A = this chain, B = another copy of it.
Amino acid sequence: MTTENESSKTADLGYARVDLDRRRRCGFPEVIFGQGKTPEEVLGIGRVIVEREGLLLVSRAREEQFELFQREFSDAVWHARARCITVERRPWAKLDGEVAVVCAGTTDLLVAEEARVTLELFGNRVLRISDVGVAGIHRLLAVRDRIEACNVAVVVAGMEGALPSAVAGLVSKPVIAVPTSVGYGANFGGLAALLGMLNSCGSGVTVVNIDNGFGAAYAASTINRMLHEARAGRVSG
């Protein structure tokens, strides 16, 4: 049984206190972080969000969570590589601008997929560019103009994490860097890429947690949506 309280701002399920006010405050509804939750908990929280928002994202989900979930929500979608569950009953209006999701290597695609799924759910159009690491810099130069044409670039890289620096030096748009845990040895689970990105010589690169494709997508979506609204004359700020 769910109790709505605090002027209907939260739904208290005992094990969770769903934030029903988040869309109003932050622009996007609450997202479920699947890791460490039982399938029952994901279902319980998801039920409240789908009903209220008509839109759901479960990140870091496991297949068993999806299996229980789709028994009740047959339109739920399982994004295997991104490890996400989505439900889109009342889809968001598509935004004008595009967001680039740029990958250093093929092995960074898992994290890039989490970013893409999140971005598309939140109404963004996505330009995917894969495998343009700095060791073959001509590959990046060849796509420079397509990245510049986007509103934001989410740049995903493992190993030494050098790609965001190179991208930031080529375009005038915000670069959000996602270090991945791809690599071995002195990579230390993505620490090398993370430190590389934090110490980027490319001005204005901002960074999210290792493998956090969702977080980068969320930030990119916030910017893209503001631009959309600015063009539409809907913001004063």
A positions within 8 Å CB-CB of B: 5-6, 9-10, 14-17, 19, 21-22, 25-28, 31, 33, 35-37, 41, 45, 60, 96-98, 104-107, 109-110, 130-142, 149-151, 159-162, 165-166, 168-174, 176, 179, 181-212, 214-216, 218-219, 221-223, 226-227, 230-231, 233, 235, 237
The answer, among B36, B139, B190, B230, for a CB contact under 8 Å with A19, is B139
Residue of B nearest to A181 (CB): B185
Question: Which residues of B sit under 8 angstroms from A230, Cβ to Cβ?
Answer: 227, 230-231
The residue that A106 contacts in the complex, of B37, B187, B210, with Cβ under 8 A, is B37
Q: Are B17 and A201 in contact (CB under 8 A)?
A: no
Tell me if B196 and A196 are in contact (CB < 8 A): yes
Residues from chain B with a CB closer than 8 A to the CB of A138 are: 6, 9-10, 21
Which residue of chain B is the closest to A81 with respect to CB atoms? B38
| Complex-state Cα separation, A181 to B184, whole angstroms | 10
CA distance A104 to B189 in the complex (A): 25
Q: Which of B9, B26, B130, B197 contacts A17 (CB 8 A)?
A: B130
Checking B37, B160, B185 against A196 with a beta-carbon cut-off of 8 angstroms, the contacting residue is B160
Residue from A192, A206, A221, A226 whose CB has the most chain B CB atoms within 10 Å: A206
Closest B residue to A35 using CB positions: B107
Contacts of A219 in B (CB 8 A): 174, 204-206
Distance between Cα atoms of A4 and B196 in the complex (Å): 31
Cβ contacts under 8 Å, A203 to chain B: 26, 28, 31, 135, 214-215, 218
Check A15 against B131 for contact (C-beta < 8 Å). yes
> Hey, which chain B residues are within 8 Å of A227, CB to CB?
226-227, 230, 235, 237
Do the beta carbons of B107 and A199 come within 8 Å of each other? Answer: no
Contact at B210–A186, with CB atoms within 8 Å? yes
Inter-chain contact A202/B135, CB cutoff 8 Å: yes
Q: Which 6 A-B pairs have the closest CB atoms?
A: A185-B210, A162-B162, A36-B107, A206-B206, A135-B169, A204-B218
Q: Which partner residue on chain B sits nearest A170 by CB separation?
A: B25
- A206-B176, A227-B237 are known contacts. Are A182 and B35 too (CB-CB below 8 A)? yes
Residue among A10, A196, A203 with most chain B CB within 10 A: A203
